[in-house]
Structure formats: C-alpha cells, structure tokens
Amino acid sequence: MATISNDNHQKLLIYMLTFQLQYQLLFGDAIYISGDSDYFGRWSLNQAKRMQWNQGHLWTIEIPIHDFQYKYFASTFNQPTNVEWEFGPNRLMRTTESSHIVDIWNHRKVMFQCYNPQKYPMLISGSTLDLGNNIKRVHMKQKQDISYKKIIANVIEDKVIHYQFHVKTKKHYSSSIMSLYLDTAALQNSNLSFSYKNYIVASCEGIETITKSIYQLDSHICYGYVPNDKTDFNLLKDYNVHTIVEFSSQVDQPTYSVKFGDFNYHTVNFRSNMNENYISRLCSFIQLLITKYQVIYVCNNSLSHVRKYLQVYKSLGISK
C-alpha cells in the first residue's frame, strides 16, 4: 500500500499488487510486464514496466490495483528490443485486495471448481501430475458451496488438460471428462470464467444428477462398469467410444468378439490363464484395438479389478 498527496495536501491510500517472477537472464537483459490497460499503454512496449532484479534472479514490481490482462516478456534492460514473450494465454488479474502474486515463466495457475452445496467429499482426476496423471484421484478442498483444487500448469507440456470430477455419497458419481485448452487462441475464445485473482477457473455447475461413470486412463483408454442397458450404450456414444473390451470374471466364460449395433464388443476371459505369455498376448491385443479404433472402453463389474488390469498395461507401456 502506498500513499500520495493530492492538491489539497490530503493523503490518499493506493492499494498495490506486488508481482514476483524468478527467471535467470544474461547480463544486460531484463523482465518486463505488459498489459491491456491504460496503465500499460494497452500492450505498448514503450509503456511496459521493467521489473526490478533481486538476489536469486527474482524480478519484482508493484502495480496499482486494477483489472487487467498481462504477460511477461524478456528484453534489453535500457529499452525493449528483440522481445521474447512468454508462452501461453494472457494472464488475468482481478482483485480488490492488496496481494503478493508469485508467477512462473511459461506456467499458469488453474483452479478447478465444482458447485457442491451438499459438501460431499469431492475428488478430481486428470492428465497432469497435480491431478494424478489419470491414475489416482486427488482430494479437493471445500469453501462454502464450492469444492476446488488449485494447480500450476506448464503451458508448453500441458496444452490440453483433461479432467473429471468425482463425488462420494452412498453411490459414486462422476462428471463427464472435460478439457481445458491452454493454448492462447482456444482459451481466449472459450467461455471459461476468469474470476479469482490471476487463476484460470475451470468450472462444473454440479454433478449430483449424473448417475453413470466413465473414467479415462489416457487419450486411448476409457474404463468403467460393464454397460447393461440402452442408457449405458448411449453414454458411450456420447464419449465417441464404439469399441468395448469386457474382462470376464467367470472361469467358464469364453473369449469372443461380436458386432453389436454400432459397437465392436470383445469379451476376454482374463482369469483363464494368468501366466506371463498370456498377459503379453492380451496386451498386444489391446494395443491392436487401440491402433485400429483409436479409443476403447475397458470394463468389468469390479472397478478395483479393471484398474488392476489396466495398471499391468501401463507398466508394459502399451498405451502411448
């Protein structure tokens, strides 16, 4: 917070935002911050604000509180030339409180939130390390009627984040698999809400009415329970999945493949022979289906069993 005096010698309080970015540059270069507001000259390089270098290659600056989009760039210390902008969409700042903002070059802060007035235990899974790499589910925090999870995403490695909300009640419900695109054009044109300081907010209105669950292991394998009725199969169509692999738990169940309407249905007796050769051949079979159909749905009436089987596939590296 800073103070200034007006013409009547009255002191006015100016609430400030402190920005911090750690980035090592060559001697003679500097980090600048630019934005779309009048304060920055609406992306004018000449009105971009040079940040102050500190020990440990920490760059800092104080800026009066206002709403604006911004990005960092590296350039020469005396005057911006040969500008190197950071990757990713514009950052957004919306707050009325003095704040200390710690940003990371080529990264964006993302907050996933779901409307949860019942305050059920909520989890989230997704395609980034912070979201469990589609292998495990991560617990979300609760604030009032909102469940949320904050992460920091690398916009180069995580151009698209696939994520799914899960709620635990007497039954287990899950949202559909959603996607957050962190490339500049897709995010700027999306309907995402930007509403919490400089976090990208990806929201889900609520999942209390969703009664069917389809989980995603990676971009090629979805999994869940064995489909039993027309509603189940229509849900698979909505996910654009038309190839089903059912792991049978019955010893006398034969292995076979049939064409079932729009679906290719493969039943596999996984318990008939658990030796190394059989597992290897089964993994090759799954890989063949992925090569042919791109996306497959693996199912069993025990989710704990199907997850265990899929971990065998992952360990053998069949799903890329």
> What tens digit of pLDDT does each residue of 84-113 get?
999 988 898 888 888 899 999 999 999 999
Give me the count of residues in the chain.
Answer: 320
Residue 192: pLDDT over 50? no
**In the chain, where does DSSP find H-type helix?**
184-188, 230-238, 276-293, 303-315
Q: How far apart are CA 197 and CA 68, in angstroms?
A: 10
Q: Of the candidates 45, 74, 104, which is a domain's last residue?
A: 104
Asked if residue 121 and residue 82 are part of one domain, the reply reads: no
Asked if residue 98 and residue 112 are part of one domain, the reply reads: no
Return the bridge partners of 186, or none. Answer: none
Count CB atoms within 10 A of the CB of residue 12: 9
Q: Of the candidates 79, 104, 129, which is a domain's last residue?
A: 104
Residue 320: pLDDT over 50? no
Q: Of the candidates 150, 174, 203, which is a domain's last residue?
A: 203
Asked if residue 277 and residue 189 are part of one domain, the reply reads: no
DSSP element (H, E) containing 115: strand 107-115
Mean pLDDT of the chain: 82
β pairing state of 91-93 and 68-76: antiparallel
User: Which of 312, 288, 305 has its CA nearest to residue 248?
Assistant: 305
What is the per-residue pLDDT for 220? 87
Residues 6+ apart with CB under 8 A from 94: 67, 194, 195, 196, 197, 198
Asked if residue 305 and residue 224 are part of one domain, the reply reads: yes
Residue 6 domain-assigned (yes or no): no
Contact 261, 233 (CB under 8 A): yes
β pairing state of 243-248 and 141-143: unpaired
Among the ranges given (123-127, 174-178, 180-184, 188-192), the one the predictor scored with the smallest mean pLDDT: 188-192
Burial class (CB in 10 A: 0-12, 13-18, 19+), 112: buried
What is the per-residue pLDDT for 12? 53
User: In one letter, which amino acid is 139?
Assistant: H
Residue 1 domain-assigned (yes or no): no
Integer angstrom CA distances of residue 23 from 16, 52, 104, 131, 310: 22, 12, 8, 26, 40
Q: How far apart are CA 85 and CA 279, in angstroms?
A: 49
Residue 11 domain-assigned (yes or no): no
Asked if residue 195 and residue 266 are part of one domain, the reply reads: no
pTM: 0.60
Asked if residue 285 and residue 223 are part of one domain, the reply reads: yes
Among the ranges given (163-172, 257-266, 281-290), the one the predictor scored with the smallest mean pLDDT: 163-172
Asked if residue 112 and residue 126 are part of one domain, the reply reads: yes
Residues 6+ apart with CB under 8 A from 33: 19, 40, 48, 49, 51, 61, 63, 70, 71, 72
Helix axis angle for 303-315 and 276-293, nearest 10°, is 90
User: In one letter, which amino acid is 222?
Assistant: C
Residue 4: pLDDT over 60? no
Residue 207: which pLDDT band, with cuts at 50, 70 and 90? Answer: low
Count CB atoms within 10 A of the CB of residue 46: 7
Joined tokens for residue 308: 């265990």
Give pLDDT tens digits for 117-172: 788 889 999 999 999 998 889 999 999 888 999 999 999 998 889 998 888 765 66
Asked if residue 220 and residue 309 are part of one domain, the reply reads: yes
Range of the domain at 93: 16-104
The CA-based angle 163-165-208, given to 5 degrees, is: 145
What total of structural domains would you count in the chain?
Answer: 3
Integer angstrom CA distances of residue 31 from 41, 65, 83, 141, 197: 17, 20, 10, 34, 21
CATH number reported for the structural domain that contains residue 78 in this entry = 2.60.40.10
Residue 3 domain-assigned (yes or no): no
Asked if residue 50 and residue 24 are part of one domain, the reply reads: yes
Residue 210: pLDDT over 50? no
Residue 320 domain-assigned (yes or no): no
Give pLDDT tens digits for 48-90: 999 999 999 999 999 999 989 999 999 999 999 899 999 988 8
Percent of the chain with pLDDT over 70: 82
Residue 218: which pLDDT band, with cuts at 50, 70 and 90? Answer: confident
Residue 8 domain-assigned (yes or no): no
